[in-house]
Amino acid sequence: MASNNRMLCPSAQPEWHGSQVIGVMAGSADNPQMVFLDTPQAVTKRVLDLTNIVSPAEVFRFAAPCAHKDCEHYAEAESKCRLAEHVVHFTPPVTEQLPICAIRAKCRWWQQEGGAACFRCPQVQTNNLKPNDEMRVAVYHGVL
Ligand code: SF4
């Protein structure tokens, strides 16, 4: 069970304990771009129902306390999020300015990778059914 003082994963699932909506995906299927919410919103049935037949994490970005060793991306020996590391190494920046982000003070990606994560963060679609080559490498580290 995640505790409230854990850093936040900015690419969480809505059912995770403590999950909040932090953004809405805009852009296109090939170039998704998150629109950041000024204030994180509660994950309610009404919000989830808005996504209709697609999974909520295709439409929204959620943040929730980092799942640590319960997450496939967590490298316990180094206390690192591999996904954050790979997004920084394998995807291009999509903005030159830090996005105005309501969770930065508690964001694991920011804590670990600094602004390099934030410059790439808006293109991350948590449930991306058609990732581009860079994102596929970042998420699957070339496995697919
Ligand atoms: S913009 Fe930066 S601080 Fe905000 S969720 Fe993304 S990585 Fe975290």
Give the side-chain half-sphere CA count within 13 A for 102: 15
Q: Which of 81, 104, 106, 111 to mutate to test the pocket of ligand 1 (most atoms within 8 A of CB)?
A: 104
Q: What is the pTM of this model?
A: 0.92
pLDDT in tens, 51-72: 989 999 999 999 999 999 999 9
User: Would you list the domain boundaries of the chain?
Assistant: 8-140
The pLDDT of 11-40, averaged and rounded, is 96
Calculate mean pLDDT across residues 68-82: 93
Ligand 1 centre and the CA of 20: distance in Å?
Answer: 14
pLDDT at 45: 96
Mean pLDDT, range 39-58, rounded to an integer = 95
Confidence of residue 5 (pLDDT cuts 50, 70, 90): low
Contact call for residues 12 and 63 (beta carbons, < 8 A): yes
Closest among 82, 81, 116 to 99, alpha carbons compared? 116
Is 50 exceeded by the pLDDT of residue 116?
Answer: yes
105 C-alpha vs ligand 1 centroid, how far in Å?
A: 9
User: Which of 101, 106, 111, 113 to probe ligand 1 with, by most ligand atoms within 8 A of CB?
Assistant: 101
